[in-house]
Amino acid sequence: MALNETRTGGSRSELCDAIVAELDRGIIEKNKKERTRTYLGASSLGDPCARKIQYRYMGFDPDEDKGFPGKTLRTFSLGHAIEDLMVMMFRDAGFDLRVSKSMNDEQFGFSIADGEIRGHIDGVICGGPLNMPYPMLWECKSANDKKFKEFVNKGVAEANPVYAAQVALYQTYMDLADNPCVFTVLNKNTSEVYIELVPYNKKLAQDVSDKAVLILEASKAEDILPRIAQNEDFYMCKWCEFHKTCWEKK
């Protein structure tokens, strides 16, 4: 199909839109080819809805209209690029930040329950120019300006309980519970950096671990766990990728 030539004056043409559409198609197809997790990931176990976590673990397909668009997938990729930038900044400042096993460049992580529960950390700070207790778990996130201010004003435990649970699990199973986690957030709008020292929360780690065991046991028994809400209009349910699967009448 022929496309209009690019117009002058800064206006977008059909050709420009077509290029963006191809970029979206490419990143969406690449994402579909990536292997689906067959285990419970520490990064998602803090989600308040155990049924949603169970659906993911059991390999349920998301609703057709709930797949990630190209824009969202690019945002995820940007987060990885920001993480690489922060690694460079920490190292340039003299911190001994380690993000992978030196022999094979494999990311640090843990695996328990016969591999059914796993997690991969961003890194470990083993030393540096400041008088700090080493080693320390390092977790790196990025956020838009609105969410960034929530981290600043409320702290990670309130601003994002999923991240807080992730940190607690990593500290537990990576034997990094003695010292706080260096939790880093970069503002994607202003490039400001927020750092919070997150102490070990043993109770949170135990609660999330218990939830993981509950999900595994229920899944093996083919018993779908209760919903988080009694009404499908609940705000968490409306945006869930398994909304139709969860609420369909049978």
The pLDDT tens digits of the residues spanning 47-80 come to 999 999 999 999 888 888 766 677 777 877 787 8
Q: How far apart are CA 96 and CA 87, in angstroms?
A: 10
> Residue 243, CB half-sphere, CA atoms under 13 Å: how many?
15
Structure confidence at residue 6 as a pLDDT band (50, 70, 90): very low
Each residue's pLDDT tens digit, 69-117: 777 778 777 878 899 999 999 999 999 999 986 655 678 999 999 999 9
Sheet containing strand 181-187, strands side by side = 97-98, 123-125, 136-143, 181-187, 193-198
Q: Is residue 199 part of a domain?
A: yes
Tell me if 136 is assigned to some domain. yes
Domain assignment present for residue 16? The answer is no
* The residue count for the chain: 250
Q: Does any domain span residue 168?
A: yes
For residue 109, is it within any domain? yes
CATH value at residue 148: 3.90.320.10
Beta-bridge partners for 140 = 184
User: How does pLDDT run across 123-133, given as a tens digit for each residue?
Assistant: 999 999 999 99
* Cβ-contact 61, 19 below 8 angstroms: no
**The residue to which tokens 């490039």 are assigned:** 191
List residues bridging with 107 in a β-sheet. 100
Q: Output 22 or 250, whichever has higher pLDDT.
A: 22
* 8 A C-beta contact, residue 155 and residue 163: no
**Residue 229 lies inside a defined structural domain of this protein:** no
Within a domain: 238 = no
What's the number of domains the chain is made of? Answer: 1
**Residue found under tokens 């977790």:** 139
**Residues in a beta bridge with 101:** 106
pLDDT higher at 238 or 6: 238
Average pLDDT over residues 241-250: 82
CA-to-CA dists, residue 142 to 25, 98, 100, 112, angstroms: 25, 19, 20, 28
Lowest mean pLDDT among 35-39, 95-99, 166-170, 224-228: 35-39
**Domain of 147?**
39-223
- On whether residue 246 sits in a domain, the answer given is no
